[in-house]
Every structure is written in C-alpha cells, then in structure tokens.
Amino acid sequence: MTNDILIIGAGITGLSAALYLKRNNLRVMLLDKVNVGSKKQTSYGNAGLLAASSIIPLSSPGLIQKLPNYMFSKSSPVFFKYSYLLKLMPWLIPFLKNSNNEKFLSIIKNIHELTYDTVEQHVNLTKNTKASKFIKKGKITMIFENKNEIEQNSRDLEIRKNYGFNFKKICNSKFLKDYYYLSNNYDSGIEFKNHGWISSPQNYLKALKTEFLSIGGKFINDEVKNIEKNFVTTMSNRVFKAEKIIISSGIWSKRLLKNLNHKVNIEAERGYHIVLKGVNFLPPNPLMIINKKIAITPMENTLRFAGIVEFAGIDEPEIKSRYNFIRQLIKNIMPDLKWKSEDLWMGQRPSSSDSLPIIGKSDKIKDVFFAFGGQHVGMTMGPKVGKIISDLILNKKNNIDLSPYSQNRFL
C-alpha cells in the first residue's frame, strides 16, 4: 500500500508533523533507525526547555574575539577536537561571518518566528492526549555571577525585551532568599515568566508516538539507505512508497540530502547531560547558568544538567572527561546537592551555519520536504516546525515567510 506521507526521523519535529498529518486523515508512516524515546535520539537528551526567549544565536557580535578563549581555556564550556578542525572549517567560517550585527539581528527575527509561542504550540499538539501531562508551565531563571555580568549581557536582554519578553531582575537579599540553594558564586538572576519545560523528554516522546499509533499511524524501525523519486529503500532492503516524503532526521539529514544532490551547511554540535537520580533537592523551576552555558531542569524526581558545546563530528564516541566537567560545574553551582545515581548522555544538535533550521520543499525533487536543524532549541520549536511542514503539504495558508529557512540559502 502506498503511504500518503512518509516521515524520516521520529524526534519531536517528525512526531509533531506525523500527528498533524494523521489528524487530517492521511496515511502516515514514521521511519527511524532507533525507537522513539531512545537515548540515541537528540530529542531525548535536551534540557527539556520550552524557552521562548532563547532567540539569541551563539554567533553573536564579539564571537570572533572570544573564540581563542573558547578554544584554549580549560574552564570554557566549548570544546573542539583539534584533529576535526580542518573538516569543521567549511561550517565554522560562515558561522563566524554570521556574527556581524546585521546578520545577527536577522537571525534573531527568524528564530523568534519559530519559538515565541512554544508553550501554546506544545499544548495544542498534545491536547486530549496523555502527553499533555509532561508539559509544565512557569518561569525560567537566568543565573548570573553578579550585576556586572548582567550588564555585560544588557544588549541581549534589551533585544529580548523589544521582542516582548518582559523579565524581572532579582539581586541582593531577594536573590539570596529565593535562590538560597545556589553557591555564593552567584548573586543575581533574571526571571522570565510564561515559559515552560518538559518533565520527561523520553516519556513525552513515547506518549506522542502512542497517540500517533492509536489514531492509525505506522512506525517502522529501520534506517534509510536511499531515496529515489517516491520510493525509500532501507538498510534491510525494504522499499516503501509515498506520495510525499519529509526528511526530519536531525544531523543525519545532511547525509540523506547529499545523496539527493542538495547541500546544507549543518554540523553536529554535540551536547552532554547528566541526570541526577535520588536528589535531596529539586529547584522549583529551570535555571540557565549564563557563564557556564548549562541548563538545570527539574524533571520526574530527577535533576538534569545539560550543556557543553563540542565539535568532534558525528561518528566520534563520547568523551568521558566531559562528564567530569559537568560534575565540577554541579559542585560549583549547587555545592550541597546530593544524589544516589546518574544517567549519562551525549547527543548531536543539528546546527546550521546560520543557526536556522531547514524547512520547506525541495526545488530539485518533487514531493520531498525538509524539516530539521533545530540546534539548541529543537524541543522548543519542534511542534511549530512540524505544524508548518504539515500545513505546507496540506496546502494550508500560514503567515510565515519560509525563504530564510530554505535549503537554497547555502548555495
């Protein structure tokens, strides 16, 4: 039987598109080389934040001046595998060029278009499903060493304010009272209300898959080998036909597009997390430690510390010392925290050279669509991107200009 839609990749974006399309009574198949909720999925290991205000790209003005410190400082949360640097250059050079002020502001505008209503998008996606219970609403707090560090970030804060994200500055005795569990290395915070987080990314994904299957969707656990016209061949030599194909497999989309003679400048920006189990304390809301670029998220009886930016390629195994780096951060941030056991994870953020996802229709191959590249905010924007690509296939009108997200921008 021919599928109406075949979606390659069952992370948050692929699952979202699958649900929207299935709810429109189409025959939809999801195909992924790993099971939904597997540790091998990038959607499994994120910080779980629905961070509407996370619109500032890493490629910000001044990045070039900071690069030596990122590359050579032992305290930097950014790591490079030096033997990989030559291969990284075709991505890194355009990435650095995108830190000029004009491009920086343009990128912010286009990230904001996909993230500003993230909580609403997740709520709409999960309405009347068991996945909805994993969505938590509340504030997210940026934690700073002192008022001087807030001042150093004043431009980014002002940009957020201009986009409608109001915040409250917490300092001195108020900070010490509300954030008593943090070390004396930090004495200031910025609280953003009307945000959210996912209390268990793994179970959230599994619940979305269960909902998809319950309404007649199909899931195939296999890896794609080739796409030709409307046919997808897998590594187990199965062949599936579909009227339309969506490629939504994160960083692994790059290899599929290369086989289709498409070029996308996207790199694996590796991240790590440690989930602490049996903790003696859970903060009431997520924290973002600005100087260490790490997020702390309370989840189901666990506390997740997620961060690090590492460039080492797709196939390099995890580097164990990165976990020790996070453990040192935990002691630095919450010295009285105790826990019984740990869950360790490393995954691949799909990050383009301009920090924007690839969304839209192929101009070379009829009936092939793209929806991937969420970088640090993949969970945040996943349902919105899934809705956009499903509306595109369904010929539904939306008010978003997709040209900034086109794969043609890399030519």
What's the pTM? 0.96
Residue 259 clears pLDDT 90, i.e. is over it? no
Average pLDDT for 37-56: 95
3-state class of 398 per DSSP?
Answer: coil
Mean pLDDT across the chain: 96
**Each residue's pLDDT tens digit, 51-87:** 999 999 999 999 999 888 888 888 899 999 999 999 9
Q: Which backbone phi and psi does 260 adopt, to 5 degrees?
A: -95, 10
Which of 361, 357, 358, 356 shows the shortest CA–CA distance to 395?
A: 361
In angstroms, the Cα distances linking 286 to 2, 87, 238, 252 are 45, 35, 44, 30
Would you place residue 36 in the very low, low, confident or very high pLDDT band (cuts 50, 70, 90)?
very high
The structure tokens listed for 254 are 């790059």
Percent over 90 (pLDDT), the chain: 93
Predicted confidence at residue 155, as pLDDT, reads: 96
Residues with Cβ within 8 Å of 262's Cβ and at least 6 positions away in sequence, in order, are: 362, 364, 407
Average pLDDT for 238-258: 96
Q: Which CATH superfamily is domain 3-410 in?
A: FAD/NAD(P)-binding domain (3.50.50.60)
Question: Cβ of 233: how many Cβ atoms within 10 Å?
Answer: 15
The structure tokens listed for 85 are 């640097």
Residues with Cβ within 8 Å of 113's Cβ and at least 6 positions away in sequence, in order, are: 400
DSSP one-letter string for 152-210: HTHHHHHHHHHTT--EEEEEHHHHHHHTTTS-TT--EEEEEEEEEEES-HHHHHHHHHH
DSSP H or E stretch at residue 336: none
Average pLDDT for 174-200: 97
- Find tokens 């945040």 and name the residue: 380
Listed by start position, the domains of the chain span 3-410
Residue 383 C-beta-side C-alpha neighbours within 13 Å: 23
Predicted confidence at residue 2, as pLDDT, reads: 83
Average pLDDT for 386-408: 95
**Each residue's pLDDT tens digit, 196-212:** 999 999 999 999 999 99
Predicted confidence at residue 74, as pLDDT, reads: 84
Annotate 37-95 with three-state secondary structure.
Answer: CCCCCHHHHCCCEECCCCCCCCCCCCHHHHHHHHHHCCCCCEEECHHHHHHHHHHHHHH
Which of 94, 71, 100, 101 shows the shortest CA–CA distance to 84?
A: 71
Percent over 70 (pLDDT), the chain: 100
Q: Which residue has the higher pLDDT, 303 or 66?
A: 303
**Each residue's pLDDT tens digit, 120-130:** 999 999 999 99
Residue 1 clears pLDDT 80, i.e. is over it? no
Residue 44 clears pLDDT 90, i.e. is over it? yes
Average pLDDT for 288-292: 95
